[in-house]
Amino acid sequence: MKKISINPAARAFVVFGAVVAMVAGVSYAAYLNNQVTLADSRMSSATASLKIRTQETRRWSDEVSGFRIKNLVPGTGETRHIYFKNAGGVPLHLSVDIPRWQKHDIWYYGFDDLRSVIIRVKGDKCGQTVSTNMAQLLQRGTIALPCGTLAPKIEGDPSSPGHAGNYTIFFDIDSNAITGSKAGVGKFDLEFTGEQ
């Protein structure tokens, strides 16, 4: 077998040439780099905006007049319809309460305790009902309404029973709690909240 010998100068030249080629390749790649910029970026949150209306008001608003129920027969109650609109950009969980500052403004007669004032709210879309009374709303605070979240841009529709955003509210006075010949309650707000 014949031995091949490589001249040390040629070997140095080959190694030197390989190093120069690698450095040139790296320099060439670095030279071809390019940067781009996403300039002047801004963010803002979606809004939470809940609106309400009744059969009577017909306009979406932040506040509508409450119901005036006359000649209520205790134990049988009265129902009314309310409609919600999610005018914002996020799904909203709905809840109800009576503002605590109203505690001293509420008047009642013919019964001894605000636990006797029954309030039920039914979500027409899901058919579920949440039951409470006026004392619970004043003491415990907010109570979640049924049917989960109200999606953005969805609005209740009086002409479409079972539509998302349609709710039925039931008012009654416990007939077993009546102490006189008449009973009544007044000057209270039901405050509905939409929260992400």
Q: Read off the pLDDT of residues 147-169 as tens digits, 9 standing for 90 and up.
A: 999 999 999 999 999 999 999 99
φ/ψ of 143, rounded to 5, equals -125, 130
CA distance linking residue 84 with residue 102, whole number of Å: 23
Lookup: tokens for 182: 């008449």
Mean pLDDT computed over every residue of the chain = 85
Radius of gyration (C-alpha) of the chain in whole angstroms: 36
Q: Is there a contact between 165 and 53 (Cβ–Cβ < 8 Å)?
A: no
Tell me the percentage of the chain whose pLDDT exceeds 90: 60
Q: Which of 62, 63, 142 is nearest to 97 (CA)?
A: 142
CA distance linking residue 192 with residue 122, whole number of Å: 14
pLDDT of residue 80: 95
Stretch (H or E) spanning 18: helix 8-31
Task: Pick left, alpha or beta for residue 148 (phi over 0 → left; psi -120 to 50 → alpha; otherwise beta).
Answer: left
Task: Give the residue-averaged pLDDT of 111-125.
Answer: 95
User: Does residue 193 or residue 34 have the better pLDDT?
Assistant: 193
pLDDT of residue 27: 52
Q: Which of 126, 45, 47, 51 is nearest to 86 (CA)?
A: 51
Q: Is there a contact between 145 and 195 (Cβ–Cβ < 8 Å)?
A: no
Which residue type, as a one-letter code, is found at position 39? A
Contacts of 76 (CB under 8 A, 6+ apart): 172
Lookup: tokens for 8: 């040390």
Q: Which of 108, 167, 165 is nearest to 134 (CA)?
A: 108
Q: Read off the pLDDT of residues 28-58 as tens digits, 9 standing for 90 and up.
A: 555 677 888 787 777 877 889 999 999 877 8
Lookup: tokens for 42: 């801004």
Domain ranges of the chain: 50-195
For the entire predicted model, the pTM comes to 0.77
